Amino acid sequence: MKTVAVLGTGGFGTALASVAVAAGRRARLWGRDPAHVARIARTRRNERALPGATLDASIELVADARRAVDGADLVIAAVPAQFARATLAPFRELLSPAIPVASGAKGIEIGTGLRPTEVLAATLGPRPLAILTGPSHAEEIMQGLPASLAIASADVDLARRIRDALASARLRLYVETDPIGAELAGALKNVLAIAAGVCDGLQLGDNAKAALVTRALAEMTRFGVARGARAETFAGLAGIGDLLTTSYSRHGRNRAVGERLAHGERIEAILASMTQVAEGVGTARALGEAGALRDGAMPICGEVHAILFEGKDPRRSVLDLMTRPPRDA
**CATH code at position 270:** 1.10.1040.10
Helices then strands, each counted (H, E), the chain? 15, 8
Do 193 and 121 share a structural domain? Answer: no
- Name the domain boundary from 135, 160, 177: 177
Mean pLDDT, residues 224-241 taken together: 97
pTM of the model: 0.95
pLDDT value of position 290:
92
Cross-strand partners of 133? 150
Do 48 and 107 share a structural domain? Answer: yes
The amino acid occupying position 21 is: V
pLDDT value of position 329:
72
pLDDT tens-digit series, residues 60-91: 999 999 999 999 999 999 999 999 999 999 99
pLDDT tens-digit series, residues 88-143: 999 999 999 999 999 999 999 999 999 999 999 999 999 999 999 999 999 999 99
- Name the domain boundary from 146, 162, 177: 177
Using alpha carbons only, what angle is made at residue 117 by residues 268 and 16, rounded to the nearest 5 degrees?
75
134 part of a folded domain: yes
Do 153 and 229 share a structural domain? Answer: no
Helix axes 206-226, 179-201, angle to 10 degrees: 150
How would residue 196 be classed by pLDDT, with cut points 50, 70 and 90? very high
The domain tally of the chain equals 2
pLDDT value of position 326:
87
Do 171 and 31 share a structural domain? Answer: yes
CATH number of the domain that residue 137 is part of: 3.40.50.720
pLDDT value of position 316:
97
- Name the domain boundary from 154, 177, 200: 177
Do 316 and 202 share a structural domain? Answer: yes
Mean pLDDT, residues 27-34 taken together: 97
Cross-strand partners of 175? 151
**pLDDT exceeds 90 at position 328:** no
Average pLDDT value for the chain: 96
**Which residues are within 8 A (CB) of 302 and not within 5 positions of it... i.e. 6 or more apart?**
293, 296
Strand 129-133 and strand 101-103: pairing? parallel
pLDDT value of position 267:
97
pLDDT tens-digit series, residues 289-298: 999 998 889 9
pLDDT value of position 206:
96
- Catalogue the active-site residues: 189
Mean pLDDT, residues 136-160 taken together: 96
pLDDT tens-digit series, residues 271-285: 999 988 999 999 999
Q: Which domain holds residue 120?
A: 3-177
Q: What are phi and psi of 18, to 5 degrees?
A: -65, -35
How would residue 168 be classed by pLDDT, with cut points 50, 70 and 90? very high
**pLDDT exceeds 80 at position 221:** yes
How would residue 40 be classed by pLDDT, with cut points 50, 70 and 90? very high
Mean pLDDT, residues 3-8 taken together: 98
Burial 20-34 (b: 16+ CB within 10 A, else e): bbbbebbbbbbbbee
